[in-house]
Structures are given as C-alpha cells and as structure tokens.
Amino acid sequence: MSKKQRKHERRERLAQLAKYFVLAISLFVAVAPVYWMLTISLKSEVDQFATPPKWFGFDPTLAHYSDAFVSRSFGKYLITSATVAVLSTLCAVLLGTLAAYGLARFRLRGSLDRRLSLWILSTRMFPPIVTAVPLFLLMRDLRLVNTIPALVIVYTALNLPFVVWMMRGFFKELPRELEEAAMVDGDSRLGALVRVILPLVTPGLAATAVFCLIVSWNEFLLALVLTQTDAAMTLPVGIAGRVTQYEIKWGVMSAAGVVAMIPILVFAMAVQRYLVRGLSLGAVKG
C-alpha cells in the first residue's frame, strides 16, 4: 500500500468518526430531556432531587403513574385529548382536502383561486394568541366554553390552512389527465377523486394527518383559554396545572408527559415511511 493511499484511508476514517461524533451530540440533545423525564416519572421523590443526579441505578416505582391516572383525572384528560385530536384531524383533513382539490384544479375568475390560497395561508401568519380572546368570547356566546366541540372547532380551523396547502401541492403534482381519463371512463368528478386521485396522494395525506394530530395533541394555549374544568381539559393543560403555588408535582407531570408522548411516537413510527415520502413529495413543486 502506498503512502498516499494510507493517508487517504486515514482521512476517510477520520471523516467517519467526525460524522458519528456529530450524530451522537445531536442524539444526546434530542433524547436526554426525554430520558430525564422518563426517569423522573419512575423515581421516588427522594431520588428525583438527589445530588449528584441519578442517571441510572435508582429503584423504579410506578407510584406517580397510579397517582396521575388513578387518583387524579389524567385518564380523563387523556381521553379528551385523544377525542379532540382525532375529531379535529378528521374534520381538517376532510374539509382541507376538498378545498385543496378545488384550489388546485379549478381556475376562478380574476385568479381568485390563487388569492384565496394566500388568504387561507395568511391565517397562519399571526401568533395564535391574537385569536385567543376573540375565540373565547365567541365560544362563550355560543355556550361552548369548557366543551369538547369548542376545541374540535378551533383545532380544525387551526389545522385547515396547513392541510389545504399541503394537499394543494400534492394535487398539483398529479397530471390532470388522470381525472379526465376517469371522467371519460364514466366516473363522476368526486368518484375520480376518491378512486383515482386520493389513492395516489395517500402518502401525502398520511403525513398531513399526522401533523394535524401532533398539533392538536400538543396544543396548549387555546386549550388553556377555552377550558377551565375537567369537563374538557386536555393533557397539556392538565399537566401544566400541576405547577401550583405550593409545590410542583414533578413525578405526576413526568408520568403524564410520558403517556402523552406514546401515541404520537407510535403513530409517527407507523407512518414514518409515508412521512418522509410525503414531505419530499411536496418539496419539488408547490
């Protein structure tokens, strides 16, 4: 082996090492807080505050979990969160997909289709807090404060622009001839959409739905404003509520946090394949 070759090989190995080093740091930054939360949820209160911190080697306990989900109403929050997330995602995907299809395929007078798309997007440009008070007043007048429908409506509105823009991009990528062929073949436009177009944008649809689920599941601010009692409190609001004037229930909060994390984690892993494809699908043409 020549000297040059050896030098080259050494450099290659160094580059590999550097790559793994950077990866390791990123992984640590991403995973450490999660790990810390997980351990806190399993530690007794004494272990939680030990110095130096106990990363490993503590006696695991499920006390906080039973405290959260048996003694306290976190189980109810969990069900509320799931209901709200699923319903609002369904509504947003259904309405948004239809709207996106219309905006992608039909040209309206005075390029209204383009303008409408921009207006729809513009609702995502201001901070959500701006709408919090008006939304509260609106829901109060509708007598929907502290109800699940209020959250479903608000989250649907929150997710709709995102769905419209994502799906519009996917639809635009498909050649028009596909629906035209379907219609010439005797199908209605809606039939063509359901039988021909939607199966082709399934990856995009899945990715979009997962995003909506995550947004709805994690949303905190509007839920805090619109719900005050256990009747419609979601997990994030419930967890934050354990920071009280007198004590902070780290164990309970962590236990609830771990449970809150699981559905999203499972779902994201299940559709991971679609997620990557879906996101890059829209990236080329928008």
Q: Which residues bind other proteins (CB under 8 A)?
A: 175, 177-178, 180-188, 191, 195-196, 199-200
**Min dist. Cβ of residue 284 to other proteins (A):** 17
Closest CA to 238 of 79, 127, 89: 79
In the complex, minimum distance from the CB of residue 191 to other proteins, in angstroms, rounded to a whole number: 7
DSSP letter at 248 equals B
Q: Minimum distance from CB of 105 to other proteins (Å)?
A: 12
Q: Which is nearer to other proteins, 31 or 190 (CB)?
A: 190
What is the DSSP code string of 178-199? HHHHHHHTT--HHHHIIIIIHH
In this complex, which beta carbon is closest to other proteins, that of residue 187 or of residue 230? Answer: 187
Q: 278-282: which pairs have CB atoms within 8 A and are 24 or more residues apart?
A: 278/170, 278/203, 278/204, 278/205, 278/206, 278/207, 278/208, 279/207, 281/169, 281/170, 281/173, 281/203, 281/204, 282/166, 282/169, 282/170, 282/173, 282/204
User: Between 96 and 203, whose beta carbon lies closer to other proteins?
Assistant: 203
- State in angstroms the smallest separation of the CB of 174 from other proteins: 9
Taking the least distance from each CB to other proteins, the nearer of 154 and 197 is 197
In the complex, least distance from residue 193 CB atom to other proteins, rounded to whole angstroms = 13
CB of 62 or CB of 178, closer to other proteins: 178
